[in-house]
């Protein structure tokens, strides 16, 4: 029962892909919308995992932290649907994604699946300090892909609003992490 955020992530991904097909016409537009929508629904899920510990540290909800593993796996689920949509979109277009997207996006997926498959006590024990390093680098990198994607949209015609909304959420979350980090540092080295 405590795994529900993971299944909710899958449901959100599948629902988003379905909406891409329901709201658009023509197979190319449908896969393209499904690709966009699946990335969009995953974003708040990732952000919840990103701010779970800092929010608990600055005295907000501890609930998110207790559920963080399953929220992270929820993001892995919804973003797996994004990956399937990407595959069929480019198959339909008869193209391959730009090399930069393949490299940076591919690295993000490698980190995402490395994190997902090590999200258990056995792997935590086996990896020791490396577990924390992997998960810390991974979540910051995934945040970075979203942040740069939405930041870039602010400067694209017709995409300004989604860029502003997405970038505000991404940088708001980063500000929460920064606040928690400063608090931790102050505790370690009191002035």
Cβ proximity to ligand HEM: between 43 and 57 the closer is: 43
Q: Which CB, 105 or 131, lies closer to ligand HEM? A: 105
Contacts of 111-118 spanning 24+ positions with Cβ under 8 A: 111/137, 111/138, 111/141, 111/142, 112/75, 112/76, 112/79, 112/138, 112/142, 113/76, 114/138, 115/72, 115/76, 115/139, 116/72, 116/73, 116/76
- In contact, 5 and 67? CB cutoff 8 Å: yes
Find the binder of ligand HEM among 61, 101, 120, 168 (CB under 6 A): 101
Gap between the Cα atoms of 135 and 45, Å rounded: 16
Selected binder of ligand HEM within 60, 88, 109, 113 (CB under 6 A) = 109
Nearer to ligand HEM, 62 or 161 (CB): 161
Scanning 5-13, 58-66, 100-108, 124-132 for contacts with ligand HEM by CB under 6 A, the matching segment is 100-108
| Residue position matching structure tokens 């991404």 | 170
Task: Output the six-digit token pair for 139.
Answer: 């979540």
User: Interior CA angle at 136 toward 191 and 60, to 5°?
Assistant: 60
Using CB under 6 A as the binding rule, whether residue 149 contacts ligand HEM is answered as yes
- Number of residues counted as binding ligand HEM (CB under 6 A): 20
Interface residue with ligand HEM, options 22, 23, 66, 102 (CB under 6 A): 102
Token pair belonging to 137: 């680098």
* Using rule CB under 6 A, residue 162 touches ligand HEM: yes
Can residue 64 be called a binding residue for ligand HEM (CB under 6 A)?
no
What are the Cα distances from residue 179, in Å, to 41, 71, 108, 183?
26, 22, 25, 6
Q: How far is the CB of 118 from ligand HEM (least distance, A)?
A: 18
Query: Of these, 97, 124, 134, 165, which contacts ligand HEM (CB under 6 A)?
Result: 97
Residue 35's Cβ-count burial label (10 Å; 0-12, 13-18, 19+) is buried
Q: How far is the CB of 164 from ligand HEM (least distance, A)?
A: 12
Q: Tell me if 152 contacts ligand HEM by CB under 6 A.
A: no
Give the interface with ligand HEM as residue ranges (CB under 6 A). 32, 35-36, 39-40, 82, 86, 89, 97, 101-102, 105-106, 108-109, 142, 145-146, 149, 162
């Amino acid at each position: 029962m405590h795994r529900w955020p993971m299944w909710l992530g899958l449901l959100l991904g599948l629902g988003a892909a379905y909406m891409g097909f329901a709201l658009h016409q023509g197979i190319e537009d449908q896969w393209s919308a499904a690709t966009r929508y699946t990335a969009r629904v995953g974003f708040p899920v990732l952000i919840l995992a990103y701010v779970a510990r800092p929010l608990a540290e600055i005295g907000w909800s501890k609930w998110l932290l207790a559920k963080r593993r399953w929220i992270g796996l929820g993001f892995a689920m919804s973003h797996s649907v994004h990956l399937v949509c990407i595959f069929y979109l480019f198959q339909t277009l008869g193209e391959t994604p730009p090399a930069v997207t393949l490299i940076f996006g591919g690295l993000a997926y490698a980190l995402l699946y490395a994190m997902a498959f090590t999200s258990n006590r056995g792997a935590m024990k086996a990896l020791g300090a490396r577990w924390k390093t992997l998960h810390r680098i991974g979540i910051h990198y995934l945040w970075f892909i979203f942040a740069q994607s939405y930041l870039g949209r602010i400067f694209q015609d017709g995409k300004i609003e989604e860029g502003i909304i997405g970038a505000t959420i991404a940088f708001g979350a980063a500000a929460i992490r920064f606040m928690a980090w400063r608090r931790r540092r102050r505790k370690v080295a009191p002035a």
